[in-house]
Structure 1
Amino acid sequence: MINRHIITAIAGSLLFVAAGCKKSLDQPVLGTYQAGNYFTSVANANAAVNAAYVPLTFTDAFANEIWVLGDVASDDAVKGGLPGDQADIDNIDKFNILTSNSAVEAVWGRYYDGVSKANFVLSGLTPANTAIPDATKATLNGQAKFLRAYYYFMLTNSYGDIPLRLTVATADNLQAPAVPQAQIYAQIEKDCTDAAAALPLSWTGADLGRATKGAALTLLAKTYLFEGKYAMAAQTAQQVEALGIYNLTAKFTDNFTASTKNNTEAIFSIWHTAGLSPKQGNALNQAFAPRGPLNGYGFFQPTQSLVDNFEKNPAGVVDPRLDYTVGRAGHPYFDSPFDPSWTATGYVTKKQIQPLSEIPAATKGDGNLNVEALRFADLLLIEAEALNEAGNSAAALAPLNKIRKRARESYLYDNTLTGFGTVPAGLLPDITTTSQAQLRDIIRRERRSELALEFGRFFDIIRYGSTYAMAALRDQPNFNFTTNKFFPIPQSERSTNKLLGK
């Protein structure tokens, strides 16, 4: 039997946040470790868990292209950038997708790398390991199970039926068949349940920033929603609310502003910090920023369809989330005047972007913003949708209207808004209908506005079904629901995994 080895590639220190808390995680140097001999100290065990967070990060915007699969493939964004630059992203947008597509390859490789790192932890922290105290093992394994569940959630929603790898990859088990998505979801459910039981509500001291019970339960609720297990999704979302530690921020923008990124709405966020070596900053800040003096690459441009999704009151005052989310003519782009030549759609994204006063053009690719992976607003919308689909439409109104109230009350907290101090009449009023069909459409629209450009729209479109998807993507003639509801398993996997069955 070949000895089991793993290559653990870790550079410097990873910085990330969960539940709104900052954490610096020290990493070991690059090395090769025999699995049976590595987990001999708490320091080694912590380092292995820390490594499992690394694939979440966006220190290279084109190494973690979940933004391409999650939003450029949708009706919310197009590639942008220069014609011909990153052509495979444009091929995603146009649904001309080969198995060799670089974005398809990148997400597969990166997120399975996360699975592998989580499996390494779980393989080393078994009951037989007496070098690590049981209580420590429990929380480290809880983190690993949460991370594995998160990676698999993104993988199965991107690719559908995929290999389920639960052990460290070796020469003996690299070949693995694709299993039904239901089996992947079942594993996600188990991992989230186990993680929620093992993880604390919060961390203190040097451990601030790791995955928590709330993060595991939120991912579990989202998984139930995507499976159509609506009663369980609602119940689990309510468990998170009952923890009593998460709240919507007063200002929507607090979730996308560096100085307020540690807040009560952040359930699990991917932390980035500028100015470190090796680099740990958010590279999306440059990839998505306009070209020219702002030193961006101009990718990820919002669509007119997304802009039109934001509601207006009878006097024409638009949902303030529009201008928090999208840069457009007639409105400043942070501390720069908007230039229509920046974009082919008329719009640029503001999420994941910082003003030049915070990150100058010379270091544009080293941003300081987190990427919100799970936030309380998402949880409330999960609860609202699940309650409505489970036949309890009246109960769905409360979580839905919390989202709308926060949005319209931006006028009470943001003194940059014209008319600050008074909510415009008729803007984002509370929803009162209990018609399931009407409420379904309202919740879907609300979800699109609230979570716009947060890398999940395409997955929502697909789970809403063929009729919705074909309407949403009607401007993409190549889109076929049956063919394109999942991205193809990449050629690299097809070439090496002869048991794949695809």
Structure 2
Amino acid sequence: MRKCTKIIIGVITFLYLFMLSACEDFVDISTPNFQIVSENVFADDETAIAAVTGIYNQLVNADFSKGFQNSVTVLGGMSADIIEPIKTVHTKYGPFWQNEISIMDTPDALANLKLWSSAYNIIYLANSVLEGLANSSSITEPTRYHLQGQVLFLRAFTYFYLTNLYGDVPLLLTTDYKSNAHSSRNPTAQVWEQIATDLDKAILFLEEVVDYPSEKRTRVNQFTVMALRARVYLYQENWIKAEELSSQVISQTGTYEILNDLDQVFLANSHEAIWQISPVGRVGGRTTFEASIFIRYSIIPGVLVVGDVRLSKDFIEEMEVADKRQIHWVGEEVNKSGEIANYYSYKYKTYYAPEQDIPEYSMVLRFAEQYLIRAEARAMQNKLSEAITDVDKLRQRAGVVLLADTNPGIGKEALLYEIMKERKKELFAEWGHRWMDLKRTRKASEILSPIKPLWQNTDIWYPIPEEERVKNPNLTQNGGY
């Protein structure tokens, strides 16, 4: 056990130094001081597994994925109509909330750069490990396949967010520094094609990996890949395949379930979790970054108040009074007069935990989303009664009236509207779902222009960081910037 621990620590440290050597400029990168040497890092199964573990461990500290200030969760939520800054003039958050992001030398531009560059850091590590796995003759075939499947998923997962936030992005599939440094942006269609290819390969490579390697749900199995693949099919409007893949995940009732107690959903290794990121190894603590950004302690011991950002009052008013999601997943900050001053996301409840206690993990893919994917896919195929059943699965858990009881004859367009409302209420403050839903359904301008005075149609894409464009003149800019 001691030998295994040393190997894992050594390889993870090596990967970390390798990543740091390139700083945050993986699209425009010089040759790093620390190079992954296949014969050393991928000498056997044990070291190869440790290399992949290194990528997982980077996700908790990578800006785009860690759930903190510069994450998809916070910035994406801000860009839609869910999350807003406490002060609208906040120099970092205000421009995301107003959809007026700067391109250089401002706090919001730096946040955008960190989101972009941290995603490419993960992609570069994924490419490095994929090359190491392919070039090594010392790894057993089953281990090679299983690790390749996991890393292909991680690369596809990262590109999913890059292309949904920025549109056309450089599609980097190697560690060729000179080529990467001068890469132009690939059309979104090519990026989506690569995402689909990576996920389809991952499903095959993980064919025998249907269980989690331990009680933790922090590693990718075949159903993790299927869950994201179902979402990709939905975004690409392939309703038949979206229904098929989500159904395969939903059928795994021995592994996943919709938990009746909403306070249990975001706990570590929750049965509603398809994939989580452990906070172990995060910089600054052992609880989730989501808890750190959404809640904090007041000067009164034990009292939680809103953090740097809050939930919009319009969003809160859309929820029914009896909705358990408001009762359990929304916190209220009360002012000195006893009035509610702010609302905050309270899905993650642990702001501080002792070293031996890690009660919550960051939720990345959740079982409830699969019902919403299938509901929308079925509604699009005019399978309305079946879609209602899927939506009601979550409405029943939330304690609100069921569509089957109140409107069993609902039409297709009205049902799709209800499904979007359920997605908003169920998935708020999680990975920018609302922002991407508005864009993929072509509703962003319709919904956001009345509430955001500076809204323009070109605001659906974040700007390509100007610092990257200065280094690489082949990077074009999105319209409106």
**What TM bracket, shorter-length normalisation?**
0.7 to 0.9
Q: Please report how far the alpha carbon of residue 66 of structure 1 lies from its aligned counterpart in structure 2 after TM superposition.
A: 1.4
1:3 aligns with none
Encode CA deviations 1:265-313: one digit per residue, 9 max, x unaligned: 1001111249x888554233232214632587722200111112213xx
Q: Counterparts of 1:350 and 1:69 in 2: how far apart (Å)?
A: 17
Question: Conserved in 1, the CA contact under 8 Å of 2:166 and 2:463?
Answer: yes
What amino acid maps onto 1:318 in structure 2? A
Q: What does 1:90-129 correspond to in 2, within 5 Å?
A: 90-100=94-104, 101-126=109-134, 128-129=135-136
SS in 2 for 1:28: helix
1:240 aligns with 249
What amino acid maps onto 1:454 in structure 2? E
Q: Counterparts of 1:135 and 1:450 in 2: how far apart (Å)?
A: 38
The alignment status of 1:300 with 2:309, answered yes or no, reads yes
Q: What does 1:159-238 correspond to in 2, within 5 Å?
A: 159-199=166-206, 200-205=209-214, 209-238=218-247
SS in 2 for 1:108: helix
1:495 aligns with 470
Q: Counterparts of 1:43 and 1:296 in 2: how far apart (Å)?
A: 45
Identify if the C-alpha distance between structure 1 residues 342 and 237 changes in structure 2 by more than 3 Å, giving closer, same or farther: farther
Question: Conserved in 1, the CA contact under 8 Å of 2:227 and 2:365?
Answer: yes
Identify if the C-alpha distance between structure 1 residues 381 and 427 changes in structure 2 by more than 3 Å, giving closer, same or farther: closer
Question: Conserved in 2, the CA contact under 8 Å of 1:325 and 1:452?
Answer: no
Identify if the C-alpha distance between structure 1 residues 64 and 143 changes in structure 2 by more than 3 Å, giving closer, same or farther: farther
1:17 aligns with none
1:66 aligns with 72
What amino acid maps onto 1:443 in structure 2? I
Q: Please report how far the alpha carbon of residue 216 of structure 1 lies from its aligned counterpart in structure 2 after TM superposition.
A: 0.2
1:476 aligns with 452
2:427 aligns with 451
SS in 2 for 1:243: coil
SS in 2 for 1:119: helix
Identify if the C-alpha distance between structure 1 residues 205 and 92 changes in structure 2 by more than 3 Å, giving closer, same or farther: closer
Identify if the C-alpha distance between structure 1 residues 473 and 169 changes in structure 2 by more than 3 Å, giving closer, same or farther: farther
SS in 2 for 1:250: coil
The alignment status of 1:387 with 2:395, answered yes or no, reads no
1:79 aligns with 85
The alignment status of 1:462 with 2:464, answered yes or no, reads no
Question: Conserved in 2, the CA contact under 8 Å of 1:383 and 1:399?
Answer: yes
SS in 2 for 1:162: coil
2:35 aligns with 33
Identify if the C-alpha distance between structure 1 residues 340 and 210 changes in structure 2 by more than 3 Å, giving closer, same or farther: farther
Q: Counterparts of 1:487 and 1:342 in 2: how far apart (Å)?
A: 39
Q: Counterparts of 1:130 and 1:343 in 2: how far apart (Å)?
A: 66
Question: Conserved in 2, the CA contact under 8 Å of 1:48 and 1:117?
Answer: no
Encode CA deviations 1:145-201: one digit per residue, 9 max, x unaligned: 010011011111111111111111413432111111111111111111111122211
Question: Conserved in 1, the CA contact under 8 Å of 2:293 and 2:308?
Answer: yes
* Number of aligned residue pairs: 439
Question: Conserved in 2, the CA contact under 8 Å of 1:462 and 1:485?
Answer: yes
Q: Counterparts of 2:129 and 2:100 in 1: how far apart (Å)?
A: 38
Encode CA deviations 1:445-466: one digit per residue, 9 max, x unaligned: 1111111111321111111214
SS in 2 for 1:171: helix
Question: Conserved in 2, the CA contact under 8 Å of 1:58 and 1:64?
Answer: no
The alignment status of 1:251 with 2:226, answered yes or no, reads no
What amino acid maps onto 2:264 in structure 1? D
Question: Conserved in 2, the CA contact under 8 Å of 1:383 and 1:396?
Answer: yes
Q: Please report how far the alpha carbon of residue 343 of structure 1 lies from its aligned counterpart in structure 2 after TM superposition.
A: 11
Aligned-CA RMSD value: 3.2
What amino acid maps onto 2:193 in structure 1? A
Q: Please report how far the alpha carbon of residue 138 of structure 1 lies from its aligned counterpart in structure 2 after TM superposition.
A: 0.5
2:391 aligns with 400
Q: What does 1:297-446 correspond to in 2, within 5 Å?
A: 298-311=307-320, 317-328=321-332, 338-339=334-335, 346-354=342-350, 359=353, 368-408=359-399, 426=401, 430=405, 432-446=408-422
The alignment status of 1:52 with 2:47, answered yes or no, reads no
Identify if the C-alpha distance between structure 1 residues 326 and 195 changes in structure 2 by more than 3 Å, giving closer, same or farther: same
SS in 2 for 1:438: helix
TM-score w.r.t. the length of structure 2 is: 0.82
Identify if the C-alpha distance between structure 1 residues 473 and 248 changes in structure 2 by more than 3 Å, giving closer, same or farther: farther
What amino acid maps onto 1:351 in structure 2? K
Q: Please report how far the alpha carbon of residue 473 of structure 1 lies from its aligned counterpart in structure 2 after TM superposition.
A: 4.6
Question: Conserved in 1, the CA contact under 8 Å of 2:258 and 2:367?
Answer: yes
Question: Conserved in 2, the CA contact under 8 Å of 1:404 and 1:429?
Answer: no
Question: Conserved in 2, the CA contact under 8 Å of 1:42 and 1:132?
Answer: yes
Q: Counterparts of 2:304 and 2:386 in 1: how far apart (Å)?
A: 48
Question: Conserved in 1, the CA contact under 8 Å of 2:68 and 2:292?
Answer: no
What amino acid maps onto 2:472 in structure 1? N
Encode CA deviations 1:47-68: one digit per residue, 9 max, x unaligned: 2212222343258765642123
Encode CA deviations 1:341-382: one digit per residue, 9 max, x unaligned: 999963122123326xx648xx9xx97522211111011101
1:157 pairs, out of 161, 164, 168, with: 164
Question: Conserved in 2, the CA contact under 8 Å of 1:321 and 1:407?
Answer: yes
TM-score w.r.t. the length of structure 1 is: 0.79
Identity %: 27
Question: Conserved in 1, the CA contact under 8 Å of 2:287 and 2:350?
Answer: no
Q: Counterparts of 1:343 and 1:191 in 2: how far apart (Å)?
A: 51
Q: Counterparts of 1:177 and 1:44 in 2: how far apart (Å)?
A: 34
2:271 pairs, out of 264, 267, 272, with: 264
1:132 aligns with 139
Q: Counterparts of 1:397 and 1:240 in 2: how far apart (Å)?
A: 19
Q: Please report how far the alpha carbon of residue 340 of structure 1 lies from its aligned counterpart in structure 2 after TM superposition.
A: 6.6
Q: Counterparts of 2:216 and 2:148 in 1: how far apart (Å)?
A: 15
1:148 pairs, out of 119, 131, 155, with: 155
